[in-house]
A and B are shown apart, each in its own frame.
Chain A
Amino acid sequence: MRLRTPFAILASALLCAAALPAEVTLQDLLDDPRVGADWLNYHGGYAGHRHSLLDQIDRSNVESLRLEWAFQERISEKFEVTPLVHEGIMYITVPPGDVYALDAETGARLWRYSRRLPSKLIACCGLVNRGLAILGDRLFMATLDAYTIALDSKTGRLLWETQLIDYSLGYSGTHAPLVVKDMVMVGTAGGEYGIRGFIDAFDVETGERRWRFYTVPGPGEFGRETWAGDSWKTGGASIWITPSYDPELDLVYWGVGNPGPDWNGDVRLGDNLFSDSVVALEADTGTRRWHFQFTPHDVHDWDATQVMVLLDKEYRGVERKLLVTANRNGFIYLLDRQTGEFLRATQFVKQTWAVGISEDGRPIRRPGMEPSAEGIEVFPTVAGGTNWMSPAYSPDTGMLYVSCREGSSMYYKGDTEYRPGTRYWGSMFVNEPTMHNWWGAVRAFDPISADLIWEHKLFQPAWAGLLSTAGGLVFAGTSDGFFKALDSGSGEELWRINVGGTVQASPMTFEVAGRQMVAVAAGGSLFAFALP
Chain B
Amino acid sequence: MRNLLNLAALLALPVLLTAARTHETNPMSSAEDFAEGRRLYRIHCGVCHGMDGNTGRGARLARRSYRHGDSDAEMFDLIEGGVPGTDMPGVWLEEDDIWRILLFVRTFAAKAGESCVAGQGDVAAGERLFSGQGSCLACHTVGPAGGRLGPDMSFAGEMFTPDQIRRALLEPAADVADRYRTVRLVTAGGERVEGVVLNENSYRIYIMDRAENLRAFDKGKLQSLETPTESLMPAYGNLLTEAQIEHLVAYLCTLREDRREGGTE
A residues within 8 Å of B by Cβ?
76, 120, 122, 126, 168, 414-417, 419, 421-423, 425, 427-433, 435, 458-459, 478, 480-482
Contact = CB atoms under 8 A, between A and B. Distances in A.
Q: Is the interface of A mostly helix, strand, loop or mixed?
A: loop
B43 A417 contact: yes
Given A168-B16, A428-B46, A415 B51 contact: no
A422 B92 contact: yes
Contacts of A428: 42, 46-47, 51
A122 B92 contact: yes
A91 B178 CA distance: 40
Nearest to B85: A76
A421 B92 contact: yes
Given A416-B43, A422-B91, A429-B50, 12 more contacts: A76-B85, A120-B90, A126-B87, A414-B46, A415-B43, A425-B43, A429-B47, A429-B56, A430-B47, A433-B178, A435-B178, A480-B201
A458 B201 CA distance: 9
A122 B93 CA distance: 13
Given A76-B84, A168-B16, A459 B47 contact: no
A406 to B, nearest CB: 15
27 contacts: A76-B84, A120-B92, A122-B92, A168-B17, A414-B43, A414-B46, A415-B39, A415-B42, A419-B93, A422-B44, A422-B93, A425-B43, A425-B47, A427-B47, A428-B42, A428-B46, A429-B46, A429-B47, A429-B56, A433-B56, A433-B178, A435-B178, A458-B202, A459-B200, A478-B201, A480-B200, A481-B201
Interface residues of B, number: 25
Interface in B34-55: 39, 42-44, 46-48, 50-51, 55
A265 to B, nearest CB: 16
Interface in B195-222: 200-202
Interface of B: 16-17, 39, 42-44, 46-48, 50-51, 55-57, 84-85, 87, 90-93, 178, 200-202
B54 to A, nearest CB: 12
Nearest to B91: A422
A120 B55 CA distance: 27
Contacts of B46: 414, 428-429
B259 to A, nearest CB: 32
Nearest to B87: A126
Nearest to B44: A423
Contacts of A429: 46-48, 50-51, 56
Nearest to A166: B16
A215 to B, nearest CB: 23
Contacts of A417: 43
Contacts of B91: 422
Contacts of B201: 459, 478, 480-482
Nearest to B81: A120
A414 B38 CA distance: 12
A433 B58 CA distance: 11
Nearest to A74: B85
Contact of B56 (A431, A458, A478): A431
A179 B19 CA distance: 40
Given A416-B43, A425-B47, A482-B201, A432 B84 contact: no
B202 A414 contact: no
A59 B48 CA distance: 44
B188 to A, nearest CB: 21
A481 B57 CA distance: 20
Nearest to B199: A480
Contacts of A432: 57
B55 A431 contact: yes
A527 B91 CA distance: 35
Given A76-B84, A422-B44, A429-B47, A482 B92 contact: no
A416 B46 CA distance: 13
Contacts of B48: 429
Nearest to B219: A459
A456 to B, nearest CB: 10
Contacts of B178: 433, 435
A435 B51 CA distance: 20
Contacts of A425: 43, 47
Interface pairs A-B: 9 shortest CB-CB = A76-B85, A480-B201, A459-B202, A429-B47, A429-B46, A422-B92, A421-B92, A428-B46, A428-B42
A91 B44 CA distance: 37
Contacts of A478: 201-202
Contact of B57 (A416, A422, A423, A433): A433
A414 B42 contact: yes
Nearest to A456: B202
